[in-house]
Chains A and B, each alone.
Chain A
Amino acid sequence: MTTPLKNPPKLARWLAGFLESYGEDYAFHGDIEEIFSDMTRDRGYFPACLWYWLQILCAIPQYIFHTIFWSAVMIKNYFKTALRNILRYRIYSLINISGLAAGIACCILIFLWVKDELSFDRFHANSDELCMVRFSIEEEWWSGAPWALAPTLKDENPEVLKCTRFFSRNVLTKYEENIQYKQSALVDRDFFDMFSFPFITGDPETAFESQNSIVITRETAESLFGQEDPVGRIINVNSNWDLVVTGIIENVPENSHLQFDFLAPVELLGEQLITGWSVESTSYVLLGENIDFDHLREKIAGTAMTHDTRTDNQTTVDLQPITRVRLYEMNGTGPILYVYIFSTIAAIILLIASINYMNLTTARASSRAKEVTMRKIIGASKKEIMLQFYGESLLSAFIAMIFSSILVLLIIPSFNELSSKQLTYNPFSDFGTAFGLLGIVIAAGIISGSYPAVAISTFNPLRVIKGAVSIGSYKSATRRILVTGQFASTIILIIATIIMYNQLNYIHSTDLGLNKENIVVIPLNRELIQNYDAFKTELLRNSQVRNVTNASTIPTRIGNVNPVYWEGQSSADYISMNFVSVDYDYFETFGMEIVDGRSFSREFQTDVNGYVINEEAAKLMQLEGSPVGKMFSIWENEGEVLGVVKNFHSRSLHNEIVPIVFTLGFTFTKTVAFVKVQGEDTQGTIDYIQDTFKAFAPGFIFEYTFLNERFEQQYASDERTGALFRDFSILAIFISCLGILGLASFMAEQRTKEIGIRKVLGASQSTIVGLISKEFLLLIFFANLIAWPAGYYCARYLLGQYAYRTDIALWIFLAATGLTLLLALVTVSFQTIRAALSNPVDAIRYE
């Protein structure tokens, strides 16, 4: 019967195509068509289609099962082969695996670091709705905000559900004989609802019922009370408040930017202060879910300006999500930079390690040519050969994973110290780490295997057996590019390291404009402030004490911006300047030079209203002549400019020098005293100071630091970055050397015949060495072409973080290149010298 053949439904037909992997001769297809056409004839098209669909759908699950089963078998096969291959070429496999292990270890460390940084403040239940209140005066962003701002925001905006202040200071805490300095945090009641700091004992609802309450952390409980139960006991804080312990909370996690030893109600500071608009405390708000965040930010921007009419300063209010506080400043950048930098370094190092692997594997491919060719002849498809090499690279990566895990466990303690974190490496308990680890290892395996798999599976087997062609010969263009890339990355890393090192040296050696050596910093307390003059006189009795002065804050923390006015100011300018209150001997103690006018003097009574400004401030005043003698005022306090002092670096070298105003008195309490000592018998002098301290303020702990330690802290993070760069550069160099070693030995092997013949023809040993080295020299030259511009760009970027920096000198680039050159030559020479010394007869006889 010749009915026109109707076709089975197309979609089902297509699905049936999958079943083809059962084998080309799978009669299923033919049978199903035959029955289909019979059915169409007998029962109609649609019943036939239905039947067709049924058959296909039911066949698919079995097919899936079948495929999985056979894939498992195949994988086991590849695994066995891969393992056998790896063991067969032991030395090269070892080099490969070491390189990969180093690269993977490095990636793991950086991964853990980045993970920790990104995890800051995410442990709160409300972490997505919590925001820090940000406040700026004249475009300069502060970390604090006016006291009354947060409650005002809550009152005026329904989107703001809760708010709290967070005022944190290091204060003296006393329980019976235990006197210690602890980090306090004065907060509102909403704090417990907003942030997730779980209670061990006590109830968050009632913890602050009474104003004289205190909630302490487990650590604080142990250090103040030992084994006793703290609840109900009274702790004396700041010699001012007696607070009852109403609760104990868990220790504050390390990845929280809010750090404290205990919490107390902010009302303790007094109603007047906390309803005012001066800027002192950090503040936080809890927002509702699904609110229009940007709209809210716009709405509140002028809140401070509306309520605080004391000045005409341009202020802005903004909100920063709490999860961004750690990594981002208000201008968009911040420590997040380090996250990007280190992630990039990790990627580069992994890349270098992978390139090593690729190079070595393809270089050795010619030795394995026969093996691969035999496989092809037997009928292995291209895909199968590729899978074999991917299998080897993945297996190498997994073996490397074991070594790198050991390496990481060894290095983590010093890494933690370097980065001041408490990272742990435990892929068994932490899903995030396990995931990351697998990701890194698989990435390493696949990248490393990609080039060899493709290159080796695509060569022509016939020609290789004839011996005419070697796979990816030592002159292969791709390999040259890879090696050049490796050299280039190494050179760039070295350049960056040298730059950082230089900058750090520069920081250490720059004249900061003040003398910070041998100055002991002592926090002042009420007793000492009351009897300051007597205290000072007593100290000066010691011959080792050269000078004593005090100030409202240490030179590195001069903040407190306020608007200033002066005679001759063009009315459009409202300039804000930093100010600090000091005493008569301030400038002398620090060795700050007065360049115009004079400093404060006891001889002139009116000096209590006078001001000294620094050069930067004078510059901003834009006056024709000297500013000395001109009228000057902060807020409504008018006075005369007595003198101009030379600029000094109050901020770190990251920032420009700011204008500073110095005054004698004011409403600002002096919080710290500075004692300049001679420098001989420091310990004895310290003891003397301690005794004097105890005599005047018996109830207080004597704590002191040296001023230059404070300055060091500013650069702590820079020091760490420098150290990390250095360590990673060493690692990169190590990996590169491994790669070169492997490559050089292979090249020497490859060219054994050639070398043998050359020797017979009379080449000297040095010529032979030169022959092989020449290749590498050429590559390094090209690597420089890439590395120098890239390195320069990098250097500019790194130094751009500093307002005051070193120069980018030529010798840095030369040194980097020279170092790489040296290392390459040393590694290569080992192999080439061996080749040069070999007996040519053996070489030529080599089959």
Chain B
Amino acid sequence: MTKQCNAPELGAMLHAYELGALSEEDTERFELHTMTCEFCFGEVASLEEHSIVLQNSDSVQQLVARTAPETDRSRSSGLLRYLWPDAPMIFRPAVTLLLVVLMAIPAYLGLRVLTSDSPEIRSLQAIRLTSTRSVGRNILSIGSGLDGAIGFAVPECAENQPYEVAVTDEQDAVIVHLDACTMIDERGMGEIVFPHNLMKVGTFHLAVTCSDSGSDTDALEYTFVIKE
């Protein structure tokens, strides 16, 4: 017997012929092919009895029916077939959809933070300085990790005149100097924010004067302490 088919495009119908799956026309084409192809005739002859059983056995047909997947493509919905076609994974729309969703979630969360109406307000530790030189409760803490909001009374400056604020340490070194402050609340109190990164343990003096006043008589002086 020859070892290969002399017309592979016809020989390909071999098992379909054995199962009886070919049309009448194709059956004739295949049989005519086996008249001249020793290989294909030999194959058909070798499983002739088996193919009769394959076509006619109830046991075999029941076994196949039990094993065959229940859904076939004609019964599955058009949407399912569209989303999950018989194609490489990367070309399946369902996979693309899943990737889009996975990327969209962090994007959405990020956008939500950016567009939020209430921006994050950093917490501050707040003190309100009294006009006496005693420390009292004028204490800021480095350990809190927070900037310090320091409120104080402002001298009576001319209308629209800004005021200066100077914070010095015990060695009279200037820690903070603001020369054009205009912020005064409804109670006539000013406020500065003492950054946490400038804090060190010790006693500090805060002096508030009207800008360009040229005189220390208008200055208001306070004392506050920074502790651990």
Partners in one complex: no
Which A residues are closer than 8 A to B by beta carbons?
Answer: none
